[in-house]
Amino acid sequence: MSKYINNNKYFIGIDLHKDSVFWTIKDEAGKIVRQRNFGINERKKMKEEILSLEGEKYAVLEPVCSWMKYRKFLEGQEVETKVINPLKAKAISYNSLKNDKVDSEMLSELLRLGFVPEIIPKNKEKEEICQLLNMRSFLVKKRIKLKQKMREILIRENKRIKRCNVFGKKARKELLSLKLRSNDRFLIQIIIPIAETLNSQIKEIDNLLNERYANYRNIRILQSIPGVGLLSALVIDSIIGEWKRFKKPSQLSSYAGLVPVSKDSGTKIKRGKITKKGAKQLRAILYQSALTASKHSYFSDFYQRIKEKKGHKLALVALSRKLLVLCWYLVNRQTYFNPSYANKPDLVFRLAPRGRAID
């Protein structure tokens, strides 16, 4: 195999799929050196291709399929690898012609020009937490769909039960005692055992999360904030990953999509609703935490003041951002929540010695 020695830097755009991977290799001048299609398991051929490039090697890929293992393989071959944020790769999504070849070419060009909107990968531990939380979320969504099916049956039969949770033990007895048509009774008898299985699996995941991660420093700090429980703390910490990469709390708020849309032109300044761009799960869990925190004495004054001016929903959004800012200060200072911080989170840095430091 001939060796490419035109330049000492090579940029590899990788379009990764489930069964195959397409490479476009460009030199420092932007010239295409080679384009190749590999099977996903053809590691030997990929290694030979990398060894044929004399000089510094850089690669970029999208976070799809088994990208973590693939990234590890490339870094093992001394290839500096970046993971692109597909939502911000406008040059790819707006291209009218889209196929493996075009996508890999665009990726290599973005890498060569230094325009890759990179995702900072989490460490192995936080990736494992994310996997468990994603599975839990998947099971909860399936349980919600089963509840909807159960309620459809009850509406069709014009029946009601006293219990709000249709999959609770008492509700189950009540359901089985109802006089229903044979077909609907048969459907209920199918749904109930499936729901019981889902409940037990969700409980197992909760127990595992509690056993493994409840005593982690960041988790203990976040749980000290009113309204933030174990699951909320795990979701917040795992999604944010490395807290120190956000130099200011405003950057973290922007990452979560909790900052208002800003449209400035000349002397005209417009502020709209929150951007909702960024970590959707992070926004959702903060909103749920705000629902609980709004009833707590430390945050009720702030919530009521915003509610009188803007309404219930906007007050919760404002409290969500306040909680996130407070999380940033506490985690970076490694200090537990103190009531003095409720209305002025920046006091964490000034009053931290009075708080309980993490041992």
Mean pLDDT by 10 residues, the chain (359 residues): 59 90 92 92 91 91 84 90 78 65 89 84 82 94 92 87 76 83 89 91 95 93 93 93 88 88 70 79 93 90 91 92 92 86 62 43
Half-sphere exposure of 262 (CA within 13 A, CB side): 6
pTM for the predicted model, two decimal places: 0.78
Q: Rounded to whole angstroms, how far apart are CA atoms 181 and 349?
A: 65
Q: CB neighbours (10 Å) of residue 122?
A: 17
Which helix (H) or strand (E) element contains residue 117? none
If asked whether residues 178 and 222 sit together in one domain, one would say no
Q: Rounded to whole angstroms, how far apart are CA atoms 300 and 98?
A: 52
Name, in order, each residue with C-beta under 8 angstroms of 214's C-beta and a sequence gap of 6 or more: 220, 230
If asked whether residues 234 and 326 sit together in one domain, one would say yes
- Using the 3D structure, point to which of 169, 195, 213 is the last residue of a domain: 213
Asked whether the CA dihedral 91, 96, 97, 98 is positive or negative, the reply is: positive
If asked whether residues 299 and 208 sit together in one domain, one would say no
Instruction: Classify residue 3: in a domain, yes or no.
Output: no
Instruction: Classify residue 2: in a domain, yes or no.
Output: no
If asked whether residues 276 and 264 sit together in one domain, one would say yes
How many domains does the chain fold into? Answer: 3
User: What pLDDT score does 292 carry?
Assistant: 93
User: What pLDDT score does 353 carry?
Assistant: 42
- Using the 3D structure, point to which of 189, 213, 237 is the last residue of a domain: 213
If asked whether residues 207 and 222 sit together in one domain, one would say no
Amino acid making up residue 306: I
The token pair at 105 is: 């070419």
Q: Rounded to whole angstroms, how far apart are CA atoms 143 and 193?
A: 11
Q: Write the burial class of residue 67 (CB in 10 Å: 0-12 exposed, 13-18 middle, 19+ buried).
A: middle
Q: Rounded to whole angstroms, how far apart are CA atoms 288 and 285?
A: 5
Instruction: Classify residue 28: in a domain, yes or no.
Output: yes
Q: How far is CA 302 from CA 103, 110, 193, 195, in A?
A: 48, 45, 45, 40
Query: Helix, strand, or coil here: 156?
Result: helix
Residue with tokens 């995702």: 119
- Using the 3D structure, point to which of 119, 140, 165 is the last residue of a domain: 119
Instruction: Classify residue 348: in a domain, yes or no.
Output: yes
Nearest to 357 by CA among 330, 326, 336: 336
Alpha helices in 214-346 (DSSP H): 217-223, 230-240, 249-255, 280-293, 297-310, 312-333
Alpha helices in the chain (DSSP H): 43-51, 67-76, 90-93, 100-113, 124-156, 169-177, 182-213, 217-223, 230-240, 249-255, 280-293, 297-310, 312-333, 347-351
Instruction: Classify residue 317: in a domain, yes or no.
Output: yes
Residues 16/65, Cβ–Cβ less than 8 Å: yes
If asked whether residues 316 and 223 sit together in one domain, one would say yes
Which domain covers residue 144, as residue numbers? 129-213
If asked whether residues 224 and 350 sit together in one domain, one would say yes
Residues 261/243, Cβ–Cβ less than 8 Å: no
